[in-house]
Structure 1
């Protein structure tokens, strides 16, 4: 999918995010607290809503296209309960009703919903769940399935959360995980991705954590793992080799049983994943995401500069800018990052009270050269004083 335009309203907190237009690459810049991270969270909330979650006081309006260039326009709003129950009784519903919802496909309305009825392609449906979006309710319908499928291609890239999720798989209860004793990978995944080359596409499209994907790629698609490894070594020439091998961790179940290991020149022992620098590990994650994410993926990266060294930023940034099949939405307030991504990709975020506004660099008449534009940006009142009461 490709997100074209989005707006949010958080009626519980009284926040409003004015419409934001996106291209293949967007760098949200601004001082801390203006709402950059909340924009990413809003996109993740839309993914949750499309999968049946009920969110208090949230309203939305998003336009996006699928990989087949079909354009969808999805609007909706949940009721607002000002005093939500923090720890609801198990017999008490914590769901919130949808008060309105509309879905357009290439300009034609296919879902009309209010607080009392739902019309699907002009016909009133039987009584359905008032708490779930129609995207979840009708997710098997030909015209609706691409919406849920597209929104499920949104990935929040977080190296550190991935570290703690090696043995937790989305949609797979822990009790059903049968661990393979060779690599620590569930046997169901071994069977699923080792049968034919066509499984590579399903592996890329899966919602598995990136480290699990890397482990499977290393075992079953060594030619792709070699490409990832070569790119990584180009960034870190002191690295001689990268591998993933089985390691027994019976005394520490929170650690992976198939850690990434690197071999540095002049160092005898392999360096295990827990001892690899966070910058190197995060760089490897970003490189792997570029190779292992299917076309139409939307990757969200908050505070892009975190844990990336100067030598990593240039290469990873170039890979992101050059990739045309994946949409990237990044946040940063680091001068080096901003100055190394073209100003045509800048989205300057400001906030006045609870109203968040995003402007393009051209809207602020910044200079023609990148350096001149950057100098003007950091001196702008909208940038340096991004929050007003």
Structure 2
């Protein structure tokens, strides 16, 4: 999947994203609070809508490419402002009992209208459906048995966020051991993705893919390790094995599993003992996962990285930036306000984000007439009123 253009309006919060165009590699830059992270969240909101979630007061319009086909998907949910107080931690307008009706929805493929929906009827390829699907769910979910609509759902499944990287850890042990047992021992499991070495095209979490690559002695694991060692020169090796360094919590977990959990370990120069994953710094772990994601993510995925600089030292930025920009058929949408990162990434990839009240815009560097060289453009950027002020009433 590749997102080409997106506009989004949260009627409840009066937050609007003006149409923004995306390329393969996008760096959203701007001051804190301008709306960079919210742009990523808007994309994740659409992913949830494609899964059948109902979202209060959201209107969207997105153009994207999936398997060489051009799609245009738009729609709007009704807005229910029953309480003027909007909690900051209210998760994306979702509720366990969400029942916000869809006011309208349309879906086109290569210019041909597939879905035309309003509050009264739904047309599928110009034919009125005799039975109306759920009024609170998108047709991307309710009609995903249709090939053209299933393709849209599969496309949105390929969106990956850094939240998924940080939430998962090797040291939960249970899931990884079960998966490894299933993949390598359970003959009833469909093992084609392992036998054909195409598991990196699956939707498995990247940590599990990394475990499989290690035990299969796949060259991809060696490439990941070399990239990691190039960043952290004190490291000389990486392995994945059962963790023998147990504490009380580990013992309880092992009594359930009947085995020690799998963990990643690194070997540093001049240090005799291997260092277990739970003692590795968060920056090192995050870097390993980001590198692994670039190598093991399925072709055609969209990777969202919020605040690229978080937990990463400047020694990581050069190699990771090069790796991200060189990656195979992947789309990256990244946020940052770190000067070093902005200066490292070519200005042709910048999306300069500004906000006036609740309206957010993102423009290319060329729209501001910035200099031709990277350094000149960067110096002009940091002195740009629109960039420095960022937010206006």
Deviation sequence 1:152-176 (CA, Å, 0-9, x none): 1000023432238947xxxxxxxxx
1:245: how far off? 0.2
Q: State how far apart, in whole Å, the 1-side matches of 2:171 and 2:78 are.
A: 33
Who is 1:72 aligned against?
A: 71
Matched-pair contact (CA < 8 Å) for 1:26–1:347: yes
CA shift in 2, pair 1:193/1:328, >3 Å: farther
**Within 5 Å, which residues of 2 pair with 1:219-230?**
219-230=215-226
Paired residue total? 371
Q: Residue 212 in 1 paired to residue 199 in 2? A: no
Who is 2:62 aligned against?
A: 62
DSSP-derived class of the 1:267 partner: coil
1:326 to 320, 330, 353: 330
DSSP-derived class of the 1:143 partner: helix
Who is 1:185 aligned against?
A: 179
1:147: how far off? 0.6
Q: State how far apart, in whole Å, the 1-side matches of 2:6 and 2:103 are.
A: 19
Q: List runs of 5+ in structure 1 lacking aligned partners.
A: 168-177
Q: List runs of 5+ in structure 2 lacking aligned partners.
A: 91-95, 255-259
Matched-pair contact (CA < 8 Å) for 1:56–1:96: yes
Matched-pair contact (CA < 8 Å) for 1:239–1:263: yes
Q: State how far apart, in whole Å, the 2-side matches of 1:17 and 1:77 are.
A: 14
CA shift in 2, pair 1:252/1:194, >3 Å: farther
Who is 1:275 aligned against?
A: 279
Q: State how far apart, in whole Å, the 1-side matches of 2:7 and 2:193 are.
A: 42
1:279: how far off? 1.9
Who is 1:261 aligned against?
A: 265
Who is 1:285 aligned against?
A: 289
Q: State how far apart, in whole Å, the 2-side matches of 1:251 and 1:109 are.
A: 60
Deviation sequence 1:227-249 (CA, Å, 0-9, x none): 21122112222211100001265
Matched-pair contact (CA < 8 Å) for 1:262–1:270: yes
Q: In angstroms, what is the RMSD of aligned CA positions?
A: 2.4
Q: State how far apart, in whole Å, the 2-side matches of 1:369 and 1:195 are.
A: 49
Q: Residue 138 in 1 paired to residue 143 in 2? A: yes
DSSP-derived class of the 2:32 partner: coil
1:252: how far off? 2.5
Q: State how far apart, in whole Å, the 1-side matches of 2:237 and 2:183 are.
A: 26
1:162 to 158, 168, 174: 168
1:250: how far off? 7.5
DSSP-derived class of the 2:249 partner: coil
Matched-pair contact (CA < 8 Å) for 2:170–2:207: no
Q: State how far apart, in whole Å, the 2-side matches of 1:193 and 1:142 are.
A: 23
With 219-228 and 297-306 compared, the bigger mean Cα shift is at 219-228
Q: State how far apart, in whole Å, the 1-side matches of 2:53 and 2:60 are.
A: 14
Who is 1:172 aligned against?
A: none
**Within 5 Å, which residues of 2 pair with 1:48-127?**
48-66=48-66, 68-83=67-82, 93-125=97-129, 126-127=131-132
1:194: how far off? 5.2
Q: State how far apart, in whole Å, the 2-side matches of 1:117 and 1:166 are.
A: 48
Matched-pair contact (CA < 8 Å) for 1:210–1:285: yes
Matched-pair contact (CA < 8 Å) for 1:194–1:220: no
